[in-house]
Structure 1
Amino acid sequence: MMKRYANLDDVSNKKSFIDMKKWNKERRSKVKDLTVNIEQSPDKKMAELLENKTQTSYTWIGHSTFLIQLNGLNILTDPVWALRMGFQKRLTEPGLAIEQLPYIDVVVISHGHYDHLDFPSIRKIKGNPHFFVPTGLKRLFQKKGYQNVTDLNWWESVEHKGISIDFVPAQHWTRRSLTDMNTSHWGGFVFRSGDETHYFVGDTGYFSGFKQIGERFEIDTVYMPIGAYEPEWFMKDSHINPEDSVKAFLELGAKEFVPMHYGAYRLADDTGPEAQERLIQEWDPLQLPKEQLKILLLGETMFK
C-alpha cells in the first residue's frame, strides 16, 4: 500500500461533491473583472541576469515561479510556463520567456499539483539542474528520465554547491491522477548562503508551522503566496489569504515580503488585483515599513 502524507496539524483538505457544487453555484453568481491584470515590468534585466555570478537577485516570472540567483547559482522555483491550466487560459504572460533564462543549477518543486509541477516547462530548461522535490516525487521524475533528483522529508537539509537547502512544512495536499492523492509530500524550501536566508513558502494555508520555521531560521526574504483564497470556506485550508499572509510574515520575523501565487491562473474566485489590494490594505494600517513589502511586476528583478 502506498504511503499517504498528512498535514502538520492533521488538517484535511478533502472536499465533498456537495462542497464542489456549492462553490460552482457561488462562482456563477459572481461577476469578476478579468480584464485588469498584473502588469509586465517595462525594465527587464535579461542581460544582467545572464551575466550575474556574484550578486543576489530574485525575479518573478509569474505564479510561484522565481529565478533566484544566490551564491553564483541560478535557482528556479516551481517552473511553470504553461499557457493553460485545465480549461482556463493563463491570464498573464510569464514575465520572462523560458528561453531567455540563464543556465539553471537548481530546481525546487513544492508539490505535485500541475500549476507547480509542469514537465513540458521543465523539459525546456537550459542546463543540467539538480532537482529537489518532496519525498514521494522522485520516482515520477526518474520515470520521466531525470536522474539528478534528491527527495526530502520535512526538516531535512542538504548542502549543494555552497548553499544549504532545507525542506520545511506547508499546509496543503497534492494529486496528479485519480488514485495518487497525497502519495507525495508538499512543503517549502529555505535557501541559506552565508548570512542570507531565503524562504520559498510553496503553496499553503495559514498554519502553526510558520512559527516553527521562524524559530529555526533567521529569514531575510520570504516568497509568500497571497492568492487563490476565495471562497474562503472552501480554500482556507489550502490557500492562505492576504491578511493571514501578513500574519505569517510577522510570525516568521522575515525582513522582506515578496508576494506570489496570484494573477496568473484562475484557480479560485479572487483576481490578482484583488489579492494585491487586500495585501496593501492589511499592510498599511499595521504601519509596517513600506520598504519591506516588495510587490513585483511580472519579469521584475530585485538585486540585493
Structure 2
Amino acid sequence: MGKRKRYKNYDNVKNEQSFSDMLRWAKERRQKKKDLSVQLPHSEQKQAEELRENKEAFSLTWIGHATFLIQMDGLNILTDPVWAKRMGVQKRLTEPGLAQEELPEIDIVVISHGHYDHLDFRSIRKLKGEPTFYVPEGLKSAFTRRGYKKVTEANWWDTFEAGGIKLSFVPAQHWTKRTITDTNTSHWGGWIFEDSSGRSVYFVGDTGYFRGFKEIGDEFKVDIVLMPIGAYEPEWFMKVSHINPEDAVKAFLELKGKKFVPMHYGAYRLADDTGPEALDRLLKEWSRLDLDEGMLKVFKLGETYWGDGV
C-alpha cells in the first residue's frame, strides 16, 4: 500500500498542538467559569411543511452548528448534516432547529471536511431521498464503503453543475482527522452555490482566518456568507483552525459579501467560548465598525428566510 497523500493549508500553515499544549488548555479550562444556562433561541415559527412543499422559491434555514437547508432552483441542499446528540463526551447544548423527519427529500449534500461535528454518518443514514454527495478529495472511500454510490470528490477550485446549480469547492484553513492514522488524508474547504438567477451562497465550512478570503472574494460574486464565529477560545490554541468573531467580520469584508449569517456556535462545546459570547463579540465588532445592520442576519435555530428576504 502506497504512502497516503496528506493535504496542506496555504503557506503550509499547520495545526500542531503538543501534549503540553493540551495540558495547558485543560488547566485553563478548569480555572474558567462559564454560564451554560443561557443558550441560543429557537424560532417560534418553524416552517417545515412549507419547506417540504416548496419546489421553486429560494429559502435558507439554519438547523444548527454548520447544518443549513438551502433551497435553490427547486433543489434541496444540506450542508454538513449533523444531528448528533453528543460530540465526544459533551452533550449537545441546543436541539437542532428542525428534526430530520421534518426535512424534505434531499438532492445534494455537501461536506466541508471530515471532523465528526461536520460529518456524521448516523445522521446521513436518516436523510430522505437519494442525495448526491459532494465531498473533499480523500473522503469518497468513507462513503462508498458504506454503500453510497452517488459521491463526487472535489479539490480546491473545482466546479460542478447540478440541476442548474453551480457548486464550487474553495479553500479554507483547517485540518482533519477521524482516526489515529488518517490526519489530513482528506481535504477541507468551503462550498459556493450559484443559482440560475445569479444569487450565490458561500458556506465557509470550518476555518481560521487566512489570505484565501480575499482570493475567493476576487474570484466570486458573493451574496450570502454562512460564516463560522465560534470555537475560538483559547485563541492561542484555536487561532489556526477556528476564526474568531472579529476576524470573521474582516473576512466578510474581504469577500465583499452582501449578507453575513453567523454559524458554528452554540451547538457543541468544542472550545471554551459559549454561543452567546461569540454572538456578543460579533455584534460589538459590527457596531464598532459602524457596518450596515441590514447586512447582518442572525438566525434563530430553525428559522427560515425566503426569496429576497436574505
Q: Indicate whether the TM-score tops 0.5.
A: yes
Q: CA deviation at 1:207?
A: 0.2
Q: Which residue is equivalent to 1:81?
A: 83
Q: Which residue is equivalent to 2:227?
A: 224
Q: CA deviation at 1:10?
A: 1.1
SS of the residue aligned with 1:9? Answer: helix
Q: For 1:56-135, list aligned pairs within 5 A.
A: 56-135=58-137
Cα distance between partner residues in 2 of 1:27 and 1:218: 41
Cα distance between partner residues in 2 of 1:52 and 1:284: 36
Amino acid at match of 1:290: E
Cα distance between partner residues in 2 of 1:286 and 1:15: 33
Q: Between Structure 1 and Structure 2, how many residues are aligned? A: 304
8 Å contact kept, 2:78–2:106:
yes
SS of the residue aligned with 2:11? Answer: coil
8 Å contact kept, 1:50–1:101:
yes
**2:278 is equivalent to residue 275 of structure 1:** yes
The CA RMSD over aligned residues, in Å, is 0.5
8 Å contact kept, 1:23–1:231:
yes
Q: For 1:144-183, list aligned pairs within 5 A.
A: 144-183=146-185
Amino acid at match of 2:209: Y
Q: CA deviation at 1:14?
A: 1.5
Q: CA deviation at 1:286?
A: 1.3
Cα distance between partner residues in 1 of 2:34 and 2:11: 34
Cα distance between partner residues in 2 of 1:113 and 1:255: 29
Q: CA deviation at 1:9?
A: 2.2
SS of the residue aligned with 2:288? Answer: coil
8 Å contact kept, 1:9–1:208:
no
8 Å contact kept, 1:164–1:191:
yes
8 Å contact kept, 1:157–1:166:
yes
Q: Which residue is equivalent to 1:39?
A: 41
Q: For 1:199-238, list aligned pairs within 5 A.
A: 199-238=202-241
TM-score, normalised via structure 1 length: 0.99
SS of the residue aligned with 1:110? Answer: coil
What residue ranges of structure 2 are gaps of 5+ in the alignment?
none
Hey, which bits of structure 1, 4+ residues long, moved more than 4 A? none
Cα distance between partner residues in 1 of 2:228 and 2:154: 21
8 Å contact kept, 2:258–2:295:
yes
8 Å contact kept, 1:203–1:239:
yes
1:266 to 247, 264, 269: 269
Cα distance between partner residues in 1 of 2:73 and 2:216: 22
2:30 to 28, 31, 38: 28
TM-score, normalised via structure 2 length: 0.97
SS of the residue aligned with 2:10? Answer: coil
8 Å contact kept, 1:58–1:303:
yes
